[in-house]
């Protein structure tokens, strides 16, 4: 049974994510809002490049977004969160959309600090060299690019962290605050440094940072690879997020 608290934190999770997309694309004048849906792109970056719905999908809104997607110069991913108790994603599939990956929205109440090891140097990105190192690492961890210019233009609105081990950059993290919610995004470790417990250390760092900033909840969207770690840290599932593209 969904309680009001569950519904509110689910809404806050999605709002944090879409706020991040809007925030990082706004300096490039490439965030567009329609009421029924918004979309955000960034030049020379694979991310965010998203079009998302602000309410449940109808046949009419699907027709509207088809025109935008077909005329867009970049490939847009369309996320669909299963929060409406409907099967409206079938409207996307009937128009030729294909699901490319799936994530799980998760949240965690922030109450006490997490024990933290001291192996990693996790520093805020504060200059062009660090932004360049971060942008070079990110696709090695995730397989898609976040442009260096995003970090340089939005570093005051979004917290980007460069993770180093023995003076070598090995990972990334992002925290985006919306009200009392800290959205944890982009936590990644390059393949050759995985299976050493570093991802958990980065997560503990970001959660403690969020607590220090006064956040009451942490939210994220988990891939299949990361979900086990988030379960271990105490996160609970809220919704499934299907991600579609128009073939």
Query: What was the pLDDT predicted at 7?
Result: 60
| Contacts of residue 24, Cβ cutoff 8 Å, sequence gap at least 6 | 40, 42, 47, 48, 150, 153, 154, 158
Average pLDDT over residues 95-120: 97
Q: Looking at the predicted structure, is the pLDDT value of residue 132 above 80?
A: yes
What CATH number is given for 121-239 in this structure? 3.40.630.30
Q: Mind listing the pLDDT tens digit for each residue in 140-160? A: 999 999 999 999 999 999 999
Question: In 3-state terms, the chain is what percent helix, strand and coil (to 5)?
Answer: 40, 30, 30
The pLDDT assigned to 3 comes to 65
**pTM of this prediction exceeds 0.85:** yes
pLDDT at 247: 82
What integer best gives the mean pLDDT of the chain?
96
Helix (H, G, I), strand (E, B) or coil at 123: strand
Give the side-chain half-sphere CA count within 13 A for 232: 11
What is the domain partition of the chain in residue ranges? Answer: 4-103, 121-239
Q: Quick one: CA dihedral 1, 79, 227, 87, positive or negative? A: positive
Strand 168-178 versus strand 50-53 pairing type? unpaired
Q: 83: which residues sit within 8 A by CB, 6+ positions away?
A: 10, 14, 239
Give the model's confidence band at 138: pLDDT under 50 very low, under 70 low, under 90 confident, else very high.
Answer: very high
- In degrees and rounded to multiples of 5, residue 206 shows phi and psi of -65, -40
Instruction: With cut-offs at 50, 70 and 90, classify the pLDDT of residue 184.
Output: very high
Gap between the Cα atoms of 219 and 236, Å rounded: 10
Both tokens of residue 67? 């025109």
DSSP 28: G
Determine the Cα–Cα distance for residues 228 and 120; give it in Å rounded to an integer. 21
- Here the tokens at position 212 are 């220090």
pLDDT at 183: 99
Find the helix packing angle between 198-212 and 224-233, rounded to 10°: 60
């Amino acid at each position: 049974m969904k309680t009001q608290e569950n519904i509110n934190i689910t809404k806050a999770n999605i709002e944090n994510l879409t706020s991040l997309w809007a925030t990082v694309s706004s300096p490039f004048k490439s965030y567009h809002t329609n009421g029924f849906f918004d979309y955000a792109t960034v030049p020379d970056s694979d991310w965010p490049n998203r079009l998302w719905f602000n309410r449940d999908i109808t046949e009419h809104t699907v027709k509207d977004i088809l025109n935008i997607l077909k005329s867009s110069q970049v490939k847009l991913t369309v996320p669909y969160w299963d929060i409406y108790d409907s099967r409206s994603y079938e409207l996307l599939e009937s128009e030729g959309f294909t699901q490319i990956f799936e994530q799980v929205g998760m949240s965690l109440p922030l109450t006490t600090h997490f024990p933290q090891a001291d192996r990693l140097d996790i520093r805020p990105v504060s200059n062009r060299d660090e932004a360049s190192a971060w942008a070079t690492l990110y696709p090695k961890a995730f397989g898609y690019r976040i442009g260096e210019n995003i970090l340089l233009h939005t570093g005051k609105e979004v917290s980007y962290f460069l993770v180093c081990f023995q003076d070598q950059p090995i990972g990334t993290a992002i925290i985006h605050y919306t009200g009392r919610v800290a959205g944890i995004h982009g936590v990644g470790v390059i393949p050759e440094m995985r299976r050493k417990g570093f991802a958990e250390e980065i997560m503990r760092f970001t959660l403690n940072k969020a607590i220090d900033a006064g956040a009451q909840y942490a939210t994220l969207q988990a891939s299949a690879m990361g979900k086990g770690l988030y379960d271990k840290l105490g996160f609970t599932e809220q919704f499934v997020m299907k991600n579609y593209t128009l073939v």
